[in-house]
Structure 1
Amino acid sequence: MNARQFFEQQDETLDLYTKAITKAHGAHHPEIFGVRKVYEELQRKFRAGRTDLAEEFAQLRTLTHGYAIPDDACGALALTYQLLQQLDALSRA
C-alpha cells in the first residue's frame, strides 16, 4: 500500500479524529491544534495530487514529539497519532 491509498482509506477517520481531539485535548495539549492545521494542509495536497509532503510530515513529527502518545490520551488521540505515523512512513517509502 502506498501513501495515497492509505490516505484515501483513512482520510474520513483522520478528518473526524483530528477535529475531535482538538475539543477533547486541546486545553491540555495545544499542539493538537497544530496537528489539525497540518492535517488540513495534507488533505489539500493529497486531493490535489501533490507529493511534496515532506514539510508537513516534518511539522507533525515536531508537534507530536515523534508521534509520542501522551499519557492522558484517549483512544481517538492514540489512533490519530498511530495513523499519522503510518501515513508519514508510507510517504517516505
Structure 2
Amino acid sequence: MSFFADDPLLKRLHAGDRVTGTVWGGEVVAIAADGSRQRTGADPVNEPFGFVLLGSFLGVGGITGLGIGVYRLSASRRARRAGQR
C-alpha cells in the first residue's frame, strides 16, 4: 500500500497497532487510528477532475469542428450550384 506522505499517521504507528481501513472499489483508500486519518495512493479524490476537463475540451472542440465542417460543406455546395447556373 502506498501513501502520499508519512504525516500525520504513519510516523506514529508501530507494529501491532490497530487501524481502521476505508475500502472503496476494492482498494484501501484511507487508514485511521487515534482520531487521525491518512489517505493512501489509491484515494480517488480529484481523479475525475482531469477526465471531466479533458472530456469538456474534446466535446467543445468536436462540436466546433462539426459545425465548421457542415458550414464549409454547405458553402462549397452552394458555390458549385451558383457556378452551374
Shorter-normalised TM range: under 0.3
Is the strand fraction higher in 1 or 2? 2
Higher RCO (C-alpha under 8 Å, 6+ residues apart): 1
**TM-score when scaled to structure 1?**
0.23
